[in-house]
Copies of this chain bind each other. A is one copy, B any other.
Amino acid sequence: MLERENFVPLFAADGKSGFEKAVTLKPQLLLVDLRLPGMSGTELCRQLRADRVQTPIIVLSAIGEEVDKVLLLEMGADDYIVKPFGARELLARIRALLRRSNPETKSIRFGEVEVDFDRRTTTFRGAEVKLTPAEYNLLVFFLHNSDRALSRDVILNSVWGYDSYPNTRTVDAHVVRLRQKLEPDPSLPRHFLTVHGVGYRFLP
């Protein structure tokens, strides 16, 4: 279910391996069952926080389990949800917590461009530029992956997803349009750089 929503879930079967994965793989958010083999969920939270792991945590508890909410939050959990719960509710809480803990920038600017995530608009030299959905998604992906060489395949997988199979030149076509719309001089790109033989690199 999480995968369908474009999260990348990782699993751990017990508290100990959960602790290790949380530390080494640095996920954006943890879902912790209260009743775990080996180590209780509260104990896991406590140890993570003692280890300066700031990752937001949602605790899952079964109905009937005696839950001391105050203790839970004291131990470092950020939210909790009681089983059985629906997918929609879990998703909503995950999104809410991610939003709370990554106070997303409302907007980003680079060069003469300003991108407003809330309004989903883009301006260049003060004037609004109309971006199509694909162009906007690509731009957002670049913004989140600045200054890294990104292969066309990686871009396709991240922006288009696995269930669409455009050829890699599609990426080029969209980059061209981003350049035409957002570069001071599209023939001399300063932000959307090509990495010959690989793909592109975005420089804010």
A residues adjacent to B (C-beta < 8 A)? 11-14, 25, 69-71, 73-74, 85-86, 88-89, 91-92, 100, 118-121, 132-133, 147-149, 153-154, 156-157, 162-163, 165, 195-198, 201
Contacts and interface: CB of A to CB of B under 8 A. Distances in A.
Given A162-B89, A197-B133, A73 B119 contact: no
List the 5 closest pairs (A to B, CB-CB), nearest first.
A133-B197, A120-B149, A13-B74, A89-B162, A11-B73
Nearest to A78: B10
Contacts of A149: 118-121
A86 B198 contact: no
Copies in the complex: 2
Nearest to A69: B11
28 contacts: A11-B70, A12-B73, A13-B70, A13-B71, A13-B73, A13-B74, A25-B100, A86-B162, A86-B165, A88-B153, A88-B157, A88-B162, A88-B165, A89-B162, A92-B153, A92-B154, A92-B162, A118-B147, A118-B148, A119-B147, A119-B149, A120-B149, A120-B195, A120-B198, A120-B201, A121-B149, A132-B197, A133-B197
A11 B153 CA distance: 26
A198 B133 CA distance: 8
Contacts of A13: 70-71, 73-74
